Chain A
């Protein structure tokens, strides 16, 4: 069965430090891949998505993610974190469908001043 794993439940980084959030998926073919962010009391906002082509994807708010087929991973990165980035981040996979998404359980990012 298709699945998405976000191994880190919480991550704390200092403001200005770099960030990498991990995402691994289980699916036989190349999936559609998404990263969403959810701020407290808000809905999910799409950061970036990968469907095909260049495996390094640029998103909004300075985020990027890299699809690595050999590792079944789609890790999210940001070179310098801002306090406003504190939120919960969800990785999602569209396995066989671009709309029926399978979400990971999320990683909560805390930013130290």
Chain B
């Protein structure tokens, strides 16, 4: 059973371009979480999705950022018109149901986004 797969591992974009980060959850997991880690900081929650539903997007910037988790295929975190401040590591995690006492979220290796 493969773990949480994120691709690409490294992504370089010029200012103003779009960045698409993909996350394939573990087999049997229908809950996905995205976190962002800025340099020298801890991970910060961005969004929690279930298949075809956004459950909690309270950590998402209001503009330029969007996330989806379609019925088929990976979850996508999309950043439009990237700026230098978007440079960070983006981590995805998945769980079989809501992470909690009885469900652990497993993290991927992250995508390192660099905006030049």
A residues adjacent to B (C-beta < 8 A): 4, 6, 32, 36, 41-46, 49, 51, 90, 92, 97-106
Contacts and interface: CB of A to CB of B under 8 A. Distances in A.
B45 A102 contact: yes
Given A43-B91, A98-B99, A98-B100, A103 B107 contact: no
Given A43-B91, A51-B101, A105 B33 contact: no
Interface residues of B, number: 29
A104 B42 contact: yes
A43 B3 CA distance: 10
Nearest to B101: A51
Contacts of B100: 32, 51, 98-99
Interface in B42-97: 42-45, 48, 56, 58-59, 91, 93, 95
Contacts, number: 65
- In the complex, the 3 A-B pairs of residues with the closest C-beta atoms, listed nearest first: A103-B42, A98-B100, A43-B107
B101 A98 contact: yes
Nearest to B3: A43
A43 B48 contact: no
Contacts of B110: 43
Contacts of B95: 99
B108 interface: yes
B18 interface: no
A106 B43 CA distance: 9
A99 B98 contact: yes
B91 A44 contact: yes
Nearest to B40: A105
Nearest to A103: B42
A36 B110 CA distance: 15
B42 A105 contact: yes
A25 to B, nearest CB: 12
